[in-house]
Amino acid sequence: MSGETGAKRLNSGIRRGEQIEFYFDGQPLKAFKGETIAAALMASGHMVARTIDSQPLGVYCNIGVCHSCLMTVNGVKSVRTCRTQVTEGCKVETQHFERTR
C-alpha cells in the first residue's frame, strides 16, 4: 500500500490544513492538519490499528464508541485514534493484545 497522501483521499472540492509528517510504527507518513490519526492512516493505506490474539482490528464506528481503533500515541497506550487529531511528528504505534484465559 502507498504511504503517500492522496492515495485514498477525495481530491476535488476539499480544503485541507497544512501538510505534516508523523510516524506509524517508525515509518514516516504524510497527513494534513485537522485529520484524525485514524483518517490519516487509512488515507495512507494502513487499516490495522491493533491486534487481539494476532487478529487485526481496524476502525469500526469512527465516532469514539467501540474502541476498535486503540493505538499507542506518543507513548500513551489505548488512545482512540478516530477521535484524536494527528500532529506534526507524533509517534503512532500498533497495539497488540492477548486474551487471558
Contacts with ligand FES by CB under 6 A lie at 59-62, 64-69, 80, 82
- Is the CB of 21 or the CB of 60 nearer to ligand FES? 60
Residue whose C-alpha cell reads 508523523 in the numeric block: 22
Nearer to ligand FES, 19 or 77 (CB): 77
- One-letter amino acid at 99 equals R
Q: Rounded to the nearest whole angstrom, what is the least distance from the CB of residue 54 to ligand FES in the complex?
A: 20
Minimum CB separation from ligand FES for residue 27, in Å? Answer: 21
Q: Kindly tell me which of 60 and 87 has the beta carbon lying closer to ligand FES.
A: 60
How far apart are CB 64 and ligand FES at their closest, in Å? Answer: 5
